[in-house]
Amino acid sequence: MNVFTVQEEINKAISTLENGGLIIYPTDTVWGIGCDATNEEAVAKVYALKERSDSKALICLVANDAMLERHITEVPDVAYDLIDLSTKPTTIIYDKPKGVAPNLIANDNTLAIRVASDKFCQYLINKFKKPIVSTSANISGEPTPKQFSEINEAVIKGVDYVVNLHQEKIASTPSVIIKLSNDGQVKVIRE
């Protein structure tokens, strides 16, 4: 796969995201449905496509610590240790998010964010300059697809662009999810 092709795919994905569209893309865990995490209408489209209640919050990806800090009021110090020391992708639920679509924020004013470890995701998000929603590419309640070929045709037809990279890749498992409260509490939600 040459760099030009990767660049083309990133440009097409960004164009779709900027226009409020949905993409299917390879993440550092499983194939994801993504959209601009700051666009309320785009986030609503993800919930509709997944046939999922918007009371079940979605994860979003950021490219680096600086982007994380722009969207969380106060990042607990322990979060940096968890991110740096994790041996597999780790999503952290933070208190008091800011600058994202209101329908992305959970009822308890928290947001699940992962600093992407995958080079493609980092590059895509850096170039887009905003967080991107990342939720498994399936209808709510169906099994998470382990590879691109297992994604439900209705999901593929329901997005505006499918990234044409790494479609042969066998997915790893979903990320670990840890809830960090500003009062110092740490709770493992998914291992």
Give residue-wise pLDDT tens across range 19-69.
999 999 988 888 899 999 999 999 999 999 998 876 677 999 999 999 999
CA distance 104 to 81: 25
CA distance 59 to 180: 15
CA distance 118 to 123: 9
Q: What is the 3-state secondary structure (H, E, C) of the chain?
A: CCHHHHHHHHHHHHHHHHCCCCEEEECCCCEEEECECCCHHHHHHHHHHHCCCCCCCCEEEECCHHHHHHHECCCCHHHHHHHHHCCCCEEEEEECECCCCHHHCCCCCEEEEEECCCHHHHHHHHHHCCCEEEEECCCCCCCCCCEHHHCCHHHHHCCCEECCCCCCCECCCCCEEEEECCCCCEEEEEC
Domain 3-190 CATH (choose: 3.30.390.50, 3.30.1330.20, 3.90.870.10, 3.40.1160.10) = 3.90.870.10
Q: What is the pLDDT of residue 167?
A: 66
Q: What is the pLDDT of residue 187?
A: 81
Q: Spell out the domain ranges in the chain.
A: 3-190
What mean pLDDT is reported for the chain?
89
Give residue-wise pLDDT tens across range 134-154.
999 999 889 888 788 889 999
Of 168 and 38, the structure prediction assigns the larger pLDDT to: 38
Q: What is the pLDDT of residue 27?
A: 87
